[in-house]
Homo-oligomer: A and B are copies of this chain.
């Protein structure tokens, strides 16, 4: 069941991305090739899958065109990765097992390709097959989630500034919730809005998103310590060498895994109002934690 959801979600997202993104032959070609290089570097399409599944849970079936919302979320995630990998930030050569955008296209084009993926995401969002009122709410939710105040960029800044200082657990939780959690939460909430969720359903998806998003980042940090670069598709052990603030650095691996599973349990309980319909969302949450094995 879960395997089918993951495969279908990936396929729908990839088809939408392929259709929406300008071809690599459209002028100016270099930027479109750079955008496609990073977007099609083999991502798991986790955020689109969460958005689509949230929309399905609310609407009873997969709403028409929701994969375009998913593809916009993936563009935003990819833009953040391209900029995060730049020499001035994390200076990473590998991402998803492939050379990073700036290694292939140079820094100037990588900066602009990240910019353009952000821009294009909002173009796609403005065109969604949903009422205008839902579209502006989705755009607002996503802009907040990727912004500076408790959002993705704020998390990246705090992460940069926390290097070598080893902040306390509350600061670290805030970094994780902002850097990774906010966009994962926005994926679930905007999927819900797309599916015409009521206020109570939206709140439930938000709570679930916050728990799952934090658990996801904890597991990511554990994997950075326990897996090889080959397994990760990116340079392993970077957090440790950069003395980054992570759960395993502060609590150890075992305690971090316990905390992640506690969060998943709390997130799953928030979905009670959806009854059996939420089984797939719960399986997705468990899948994120199971990655450690």
Contact = CB atoms under 8 A, between A and B. Distances in A.
A38 to B, nearest CB: 14
A89 interface: yes
Interface in A173-229: none
Contact of A161 (B22, B30, B143): B30
A131 B135 CA distance: 12
Nearest to A28: B157
Given A136-B132, A140-B126, A157-B31, A89 B108 contact: yes
Nearest to A134: B132
A111 B87 CA distance: 11
A32 B132 contact: no
A6 to B, nearest CB: 29
Interface stretch (A41-49, A112-120, A258-266): A112-120
Instruction: State the copy count for this chain.
Output: 2
Dominant secondary structure of chain A at its interface with chain B? helix
Contacts of A161: 28, 30
A78 interface: no
A140 to B, nearest CB: 4
A139 B122 contact: yes
A26 interface: yes
A1 interface: no
B116 A89 contact: no
A161 B27 CA distance: 11
Contacts of A28: 148, 154, 157-158, 161
Most chain B CB within 10 A, of A27, A106, A116, A122, is at A122
Contacts of A143: 119-120, 122-123, 126
29 contacts: A26-B148, A28-B157, A30-B161, A31-B148, A31-B153, A31-B154, A35-B148, A83-B115, A88-B108, A88-B111, A109-B160, A111-B111, A114-B115, A115-B153, A116-B148, A118-B118, A119-B143, A119-B151, A120-B147, A122-B122, A122-B143, A123-B143, A123-B144, A123-B147, A126-B137, A126-B143, A131-B132, A132-B133, A132-B136
Given A88-B108, A89-B108, 7 more contacts: A26-B149, A31-B153, A118-B118, A122-B122, A126-B136, A132-B133, A132-B136
